[in-house]
Structure 1
Amino acid sequence: MARADSGEADAPDREIRLVGNPDGQWTARDLRVGVTAQGESRGAALENLDSVVDAIENDGGHPPTDDEIRDLGVDPDIARSRGDELPDVLQ
């Protein structure tokens, strides 16, 4: 288990678990934020974890585009017309 200081005096310490998986992948988990990411190497897993934490803490990301919705096998017009009801593919 690794502990790293974020560099900000008022910020809590960041505690990360890094695990090598039997399939050769690596899993990194930020225990403070409660998120997990994987990568093909330790460095890739940590970079992916940093991206996820950044998206959560800094309101990163974006609403999905029509093409991204289509890539999931969902018609964007139908998905947007259903309100809060999940499309069949996500139920």
Structure 2
Amino acid sequence: MAGSSKESPRPGEIRLWREDDWWIATDVETGVTTQGKSRVDALENLDEAVALHKGEIGHEPTDAELRELGIDPEATTTRDTDRPDFLK
């Protein structure tokens, strides 16, 4: 029977389990976790989330995109500021 070790995950190792009505999927290497109503949904969400985490897809929003969402770019802070202690 195939298994995994929490101490030394294999490259590309994922964990998938069910909690109530949701399937939970975790990419062991990155720690990224997602969920979905089906196994397929959870795994598709995980693929997208890992790609975002690795910078393979997505982009920083432009000022125009932020304004379309009702966010004033001048009133927001960026990652360049010091993070609160609980986020360090």
Residue 57 of structure 2 aligns to a residue whose secondary structure is coil
In structure 1, the residue matched to 2:75 is 78
Under a length normalisation based on structure 2, what TM-score does the superposition of the two structures give? Answer: 0.62
In structure 2, the residue matched to 1:15 is 13
Question: Which runs of at least 4 in structure 1 moved beyond 3 Å after TM superposition?
Answer: none
In structure 2, the residue matched to 1:26 is 23
Indicate the RMSD between aligned Cα atoms, in angstroms. Answer: 2.9
TM superposition shift of 1:35: 0.6
Map Cα deviations across residues 28-82 of structure 1 (whole Å, 9 max, x no partner): 00001111011111100000000111122244222133134x3xxx53331159x
Residues 2, 15 of structure 1: 8 Å contact kept: no
Unpaired segments ≥5 residues, structure 2: 5-9, 84-88
Residues 28, 46 of structure 1: 8 Å contact kept: yes
Unpaired segments ≥5 residues, structure 1: 4-11, 87-91
Residue 18 of structure 1 aligns to a residue whose secondary structure is strand
Under a length normalisation based on structure 1, what TM-score does the superposition of the two structures give? Answer: 0.60
The alignment-based identity, stated in percent, is 36
